[in-house]
Amino acid sequence: MVTLRDPERGCAWDREQTFATIAPYTIEEAYEVADAIDHGDMAALKDELGDLLFQVVFHSQMASEAGSFVFDDVAKAIADKMVRRHPHVFGDAEIRDADTQTVAWEATKADERAAKGHDSVLDGVARSLPPMTRALKLQNRAARVGFDWAGPLDVIAKIVEEVDEIKHEINIEAEFDRIEDEMGDVLFACVNLARKLKIDPEGALKRANAKFDRRFRHVERELSAAGRRPEDATLDEMEALWIDAKGIERKGERKE
């Protein structure tokens, strides 16, 4: 990385990069690591972890050039943090189980935020996180200080309320900004329901995406076999094929 960034013999593209321009690549590489894990491809995982590590090295080198920190500082900082947050492993603290460890972990993080001068329980939840992930983290933080629904049924009632509100905005032909605002409230409430049910909303949506992809491809295949295209079929015809796809899936589940 030092050579790539060398002013005289380095790569022009690498020399031109900044923290801001590299950040999207860092995020992309993290997603590619997750994709390799999702596919169970260990060879790809090895490669993608290397790509992700390269991103850390890239940022560290730019920081080094600015006189801020070097790669070793990054490694030491995370090592120190892990020791600090695991007193039951590296110290004499007694922690009975994983749930107790989670409480202790969060307490340590809260102390660290306070030491940094943060005055809100929401401080430190990165604004650059995917919106659904950030919603979940914000809700979890608020719940730790008691700002939470009693149970999932209470959240469902809130979802119904939010749906009624967006229906009202649609009926009165409100401005786009109002409808978008209400749509956000519906999605935020849905994330809250997933949280109360101990379901990862990203994982649930991922499953729904895969299900839609699988079933719609069935619709396309069946229409193609009949010499037709989706745009040539009626909605009722496609809906019938969609229901057929669901039936096939249920039969497969029963066999398993």
Name, in order, each residue with C-beta under 8 angstroms of 54's C-beta and a sequence gap of 6 or more. Answer: 1, 29
The string of pLDDT tens digits covering residues 198-245 is 999 999 999 999 999 999 999 999 999 999 999 999 999 999 999 999
Per-residue model confidence (pLDDT) at position 256:
45
Of 32, 75, 63, 24, which is closest to residue 50 (Cα–Cα)? 32
Gap between the Cα atoms of 238 and 223, Å rounded: 8
Of the candidates 147, 161, 211, which has an alpha carbon nearest to the alpha carbon of residue 190? 161
**Can you tell me the mean pLDDT for 52-61?**
98
On average, the pLDDT of the chain sits at 92
pLDDT digits (tens, 9 = 90+) for 16-43: 999 999 999 999 999 999 999 999 999 9
Residue 116 has pLDDT above 80, yes or no: no
Mean pLDDT of 172-186: 97
pLDDT for 104: 73
CATH class for the domain made up of 131-199: mainly alpha
Compute the distance between CA of residue 239 and CA of residue 151 in angstroms, rounded to an integer.
35
Per-residue pLDDT at 183 exceeds 70: yes
At residue 107, the pLDDT reads 75
The yes-or-no answer to whether 12-85 and 131-199 have a common fold is yes
* Mean pLDDT confidence for 156-180: 97
pLDDT exceeds cutoff 90 at 115: no
DSSP of 1-33, one letter per residue?
Answer: -TTTT-TTTS-HHHHH--HHHHHHHHHHHHHHH
Under DSSP, the state recorded for 17 is -
The answer to whether 45 touches 36, Cβ cutoff 8 Å, is yes
Cα separations in angstroms, 72 against 53, 57, 75:
13, 10, 5
State mean pLDDT over 44-72.
98
Cβ contact 4:11 at 8 Å: yes
Could you read off the pLDDT of 66-88 as tens digits, one per residue? 999 999 999 999 999 999 888 88
Which is more confident, 253 or 87? 87
Residue bearing the bigger pLDDT, 113 or 12: 12
Collapsing DSSP to helix, strand or coil, 127 comes out as coil
| DSSP result, 87-101 | HHHHSS----SHHHH
Domain extents for the chain?
12-85, 131-199, 203-255
Encoded tokens for 226: 């009949």
Would you say 51 and 32 are in contact if contact means Cβ atoms under 8 Å apart?
yes
Pick the CATH number of 12-85 from 1.10.287.1080, 3.40.50.300, 1.20.120.1630, 3.30.70.270: 1.10.287.1080
User: pLDDT-derived band of residue 94, with 50, 70 and 90 as boundaries?
Assistant: confident
Q: How many Å apart are CA 94 and CA 111, to the nearest integer?
A: 19
pLDDT score for 254: 59
pLDDT of residue 39: 92
Alpha carbons 148 and 139: distance in angstroms, whole number: 8
